[in-house]
Amino acid sequence: MPDQLILLPGTPKRVGIAADHGGYALKEYLTWMLRQAGADVIDFGNSQPVPDDDYPDFIVPLALAVAQGAVERGVAICGSGVGASVVANKVTGVRACLIQDSFSAHQGVEDDDLNLICLGGLVVGFGLAWELVKIFLVAQFSGAERHRRRLAKIAELETPQPRWKVVHTAPRAERSSGQTKSLRLYLIRHGATEWSLSGQYTGKLDIALAAQGEDEARSVGQRLRGIPFAHVLTSPLQRAQQTCTLAALAGTPEIEPDLAEWDNGDDEGRTFADILASRPDWNLFRDGFPNGETPDQTGARADRLIARLRTLDGNVALFSHGQFGRVFAARWIGLPVEQAQSFLLNTASLSILCYAHGDPDQPAIELWNSSPPHAPSDPAHEPHAGNTQQMKGPLLDQWDNEGGMTPDKERTQHLAPEDIQDETG
């Protein structure tokens, strides 16, 4: 069991991590160790080892999150650690350094307020890297006057970053009053397939829409007609891409790998009843699938996607899947993955996620699982999977009372009157 050092009082618990192919193996190891030790880890990618990927694509989002307070400390890894250090320090507010010894790991924080550590995935071993990360996380800035004076001189050299849009997830006290964002995420589950109609789990298997699913996809497009989309993102699986194409929204669709469905592993093609017959206590959102994705892995993928989406503004269409869509919604409002079991999602359903009052500190669900009148309940996964009235339980009542969901009258401003339906779909 990893040391519990990061649980000491005052030790950062929300840690961001990123790596290219040269640091991928070390990133996966450190991510596991940090989570076992109690940290809330946000993985900024890469999600797989791609030999020709570019480290700025992963290090910059991590550095922006550190600078804006979305994570308390960062760990950036490339082959040597040098490139990660160079690019991270280009982001205003980041103080990053390549670390290879324990003294520098704590002295850099104590004297220079280091907030991002860079490691060489091909240089340091796993054991040493873990020791360096622990020391870095436990260390605290001394606050001595001479160190503050030197840091102030460094800050004078920093300039705004014109190319990269900043992740706006800083605590309220650190933001100027009245600052709002109009990000609205339109989450669309793909239309029906033969397997969704028969209740079979469908993960990575790339199957096409059924005829009914094609009709559902066109219906979703009609409901969204006239909404200007700044971005249209779709899962790489063809059932989602077909839905996106048939919906024919304004904007050029982009493939987003993290919108792909939960990997069902050995349970691909099985029904809920089949699985319960062999594993009576099984719960997808607690146990995951044998030889597939774990709940932690799927949740981390959702967190990574959310961190990127928070850099956007305006209307964004997301064409995705049932299981992943439920996890995405839970993580959007800060719930653990296991709570995703309460978010039922029919085929060709429309959901809207946003910020209450435009405040990024208040992620909210404005509309959930709204389906075309002709769309049947989805029999997949749970016996009650089509009954969205199940969501009107104590959990959602609490969200309503605490302002976690915007009023119905607010959401109706964005859809035509004939498209406004009860959440039961």
Backbone angles phi, psi at 342, to 5 degrees: -85, -5
* 3-class secondary-structure state, position 384: coil
Closest CA relative to residue 407, chosen from 420, 416, 394: 420
169, amino acid identity: T
Sequence-separated (6 or more) residues with CB below 8 Å from residue 217:
190, 191, 209, 242, 243, 244, 245, 246, 247, 348
Whether pTM > 0.75 for this model: the answer is no
**3-state percent breakdown (helix, strand, coil) of the chain, nearest 5:** 40, 15, 45
**Residue indicated by tokens 């640091």:** 23
Determine the Cα–Cα distance for residues 302 and 324; give it in Å rounded to an integer.
8
Which domains can be identified in the chain, with CATH numbers? 5-161 (3.40.1400.10), 184-419 (3.40.50.1240)
Cis peptide before 46 (omega within 30 of 0): yes
Which two three-digit tokens encode residue 39? Answer: 């940290």
Q: What is the pLDDT of residue 10?
A: 61
What DSSP character marks residue 271? B
DSSP string, 190-249: ----HHHHHTB--SS--PPPPHHHHHHHHHHHHHTTT---SEEEE-SSHHHHHHHHHHT-
According to the model, what pLDDT value does residue 4 have? 54
Cβ atoms of 318 and 259 closer than 8 Å: yes
Token duo for residue 348? 């060709």
- CB within 8 Å of 36: residues ≥ 6 apart: 1, 2
The structure tokens listed for 409 are 């009258």
> What is the full per-residue pLDDT of the chain (425 aa) written as tens digits?
455 555 565 667 789 999 999 999 999 999 999 999 888 999 999 988 999 999 999 999 999 999 888 899 999 999 999 999 999 999 989 999 999 999 999 999 999 999 999 999 999 999 999 999 999 999 999 989 898 888 888 887 775 444 433 333 333 333 434 455 789 999 999 999 999 999 999 999 999 999 999 999 999 999 999 899 999 999 999 999 999 999 999 878 999 999 999 999 999 999 999 999 999 999 999 999 999 999 999 999 999 999 999 989 999 999 999 999 999 999 999 999 999 999 999 999 999 999 998 888 899 999 999 986 544 444 444 433 333 333 334 334 433 443 333 334 333 344 443 343 332 22
Secondary structure class of 160 (helix, strand, coil): coil
Contact 260, 191 (CB under 8 A): no
Q: What sign has the CA pseudo-torsion 108, 109, 115, 117?
A: positive
Measure the CA–CA gap between 51 and 41, rounded to whole angstroms: 24
Hey, what are 349's tokens? 């359903």
The interaxial angle of helices 145-155 and 102-112, nearest 10 deg, is: 80
Single out the catalytic residue among 78, 97, 118, 354. Answer: 78
Burial group, residue 339, by CB count within 10 angstroms (0-12, 13-18, 19+)? middle
Note whether 345 and 325 are within 8 A (CB).
yes
What was the pLDDT predicted at 153? Answer: 83
Check: CB of residue 151 under 8 Å from CB of residue 283. no
pLDDT at 164: 39
Tokens 């029904």 belong to residue: 271
Q: Which residue in 50, 76, 54 sits closest to 64, CA to CA?
A: 76
Q: Which residue has the tokens 């199957």?
A: 207
118 assigned to active site? no
User: What six digits make up the tokens of 64?
Assistant: 């922006």
CA distance 178 to 72: 24
Angle of helix 24-36 relative to helix 126-138, nearest 10 degrees, comes to: 50
247: exposed, middle or buried (Cβ count in 10 Å: 0-12, 13-18, 19+): buried
Which pLDDT belongs to residue 156?
A: 75
Nearest to 391 by CA among 346, 331, 360, 328: 346
DSSP output for 63-103: HHHHHHTSSSEEEEEESSSHHHHHHHTTSTT--EEE--SHH
CB atoms within 10 A of CB 153: 8
